[in-house]
Structure 1
Amino acid sequence: MSSFLSGRTIMVTGATSGIGYETARLLAECGATVLLHGRTPEEARAAVKRLIATADVDAELLRPCAADFGHLEEVERLANRVITGHPYLDVLVNNAAVAAPQRHTITPDGNELTFQVNFLAHYLLTNLLEPALTNGTGGRVVNVSSSMHRTASITWNDPNRTRRYAPLAAYAQSQLALTVFAADPRVTAVSVNPGVCETTLRPLYGHEGATPSEGAAHVVRLCDPAVEIVNGAYYDRGEWMEPAVGATEERTVKRLNKLADLLVGHSA
């Protein structure tokens, strides 16, 4: 078992399956203390048990945590627990994602489900964890995005797409927002497209994909403090590339932050 991440604490959202689970496994195998986020405490604990039973990991390095990203109050409670238990957080991997439902769905918070789970919840969580991420040196955020962000546009006047809803467009919008958010100057962050992998989201892409472990390796590489990153950079698997046109423009970042602050009920 490699130990090049020994002593580092990393949180992975959506870590109970797919790329998130494999990211947590690889990080723990490299010696990191990993906070495995799941939608429910039961799902998070089950993922930890599965890792202990099947992977070369130290059980003491695995910490289950839970919040349903469809409820922003749960995100706030999760952030408070993390801050209390881990005042120094080296990396936050914003990975949790859902495919947009066929029918337009609004969360109890009043937001379109995909936009909230895939972006707004991560926006809120990242901002609330900012004290822990900036408490030491080298703290960073890795947003797991998608090549679909290039096909998207953010409907600024109707982000919940109440007037014109299409599942693929809603999903792509959430991925573009997550990619733009990586350019926020408050924390050092990058976004990465891990490639099409055999996960629950794979049918969105219409063709076969790589294994979740192969996708996770691209995420884990960006968690390594030895890998220098530039704030707002976008990686397509292991290669640095320009994101969608305008995605890193200061004007766009500020506009998105203003919108997100309004929708999550917080001020930056």
Structure 2
Amino acid sequence: MPDSALCSRTVLVTGATSGIGFETARQLAERGATVLLHGRTDDEALAAADRLIGTAGIDAGRLSVCSADFARLEEVETPARTVVTAHPHLDVLVDNAGIAAPERHTVTADGNEVAFQVNFLAHYLLTCLLEPALIGDPGGRVVNVSSSLHRSASIHWADPNRARRYSRLAAYAQSQLALTVFAADPRVTAVSVHPGVCETALLPVYAHQGVSASEVATHVVRLCDPTVEIVNGAYYDRDERVEPAPGATDDRTVRRLGTLADLLVGRTA
């Protein structure tokens, strides 16, 4: 059912081809938003759009697709340029794409631990590149889909790739802590959310049981709604605003993470 608050909104959802991302895109489109579906490949993004059109009855005119493999940072720049050109004002960016850290320590061609890159660094780079479209008037917002596991994490500043001591759970938790800290970056208005444990490919990282991706996605969609007021850096556990891990919104930590991320993605001041 179209929602007047979302009908004029344009939202980019990363990792929109399955799980929470797909359900978030579906619910936003059903409520009248224009949704940009990101997938790892063109074929995956187009297949997701076809599913929304064919099974959910979404108007094809409210959907567009883009692709980038977040394990390759050079691929992030192309969809970012396309989005900024086609949508000079972007209302919401949902940083959702994510992977479970592999059992064995894995480094991308860019030289970064793969979960840290896919779950955080690629989103950091994408958000920076989309900044011109997000800070117009009225300003847009970023919703980072994080995890309660960020509370068990620490960022290994001297060894973010965890080359010296690797644990898949610790690597995944570090990526989620970084994403949560990034929400407090003052350059764009952003929040992070633990939407709940659901039945996706990431379930083994959390637990043995979870609820449906559709149910979990409602907590993400809520934060995309312009009638829901947000405070930069806020962290939500489902629909409840709670304090994130100690230090996650500390100015020094936010600046330090930005400096590290700029170095790892190759951005210069």
Between 50-59 and 37-46, the greater mean CA deviation after superposition: 50-59
Structure 1 residue 57: deviation in Å? 1.7
Query: Are the equivalent residues in 2 in contact too, given 1:138–1:225 (CA < 8 A)?
Result: no
SS in 2 for 1:36: strand
Partner of 1:53: 54
Structure 1 residue 267: deviation in Å? 2.7
TM-score (structure 1 length as normaliser): 0.99
Structure 2 counterpart of 1:161, one-letter code: R
Task: Provide structure 1 residue ranges, at least 5 long, that are not aligned to the other structure.
Answer: none
SS in 1 for 2:66: strand
Structure 1 residue 77: deviation in Å? 1.2
Partner of 1:76: 77
CA displacement, residues 142-192 of structure 1 (integer Å, 9 cap, x when unaligned): 000000000000000000011011100000000000000000000000000
Partner of 1:125: 126
Between 26-35 and 55-64, the greater mean CA deviation after superposition: 55-64
Separation of aligned partners in 2, 1:267 and 1:201: 33
Separation of aligned partners in 1, 2:207 and 2:29: 32
The count of corresponding residues between Structure 1 and Structure 2 is 268
Runs of 4+ displaced beyond 3 Å: none
Between 202-211 and 233-242, the greater mean CA deviation after superposition: 202-211
Structure 1 residue 56: deviation in Å? 3.5
TM-score (structure 2 length as normaliser): 0.98
Structure 1 counterpart of 2:118, one-letter code: V
Identity %: 72
Between 198-207 and 238-247, the greater mean CA deviation after superposition: 198-207
SS in 2 for 1:220: helix
Separation of aligned partners in 1, 2:174 and 2:168: 10
Task: Provide structure 2 residue ranges, at least 5 long, that are not aligned to the other structure.
Answer: none
Structure 1 residue 203: deviation in Å? 1.1
Partner of 1:201: 202
SS in 1 for 2:142: strand
Structure 2 counterpart of 1:3, one-letter code: D
Structure 1 residue 59: deviation in Å? 1.2
Separation of aligned partners in 1, 2:227 and 2:151: 29
- For the aligned residue pairs, the C-alpha RMSD in angstroms reads 0.8
CA displacement, residues 75-105 of structure 1 (integer Å, 9 cap, x when unaligned): 0111111111111100000000000011111
Separation of aligned partners in 1, 2:53 and 2:131: 30
SS in 1 for 2:253: helix
SS in 1 for 2:241: strand
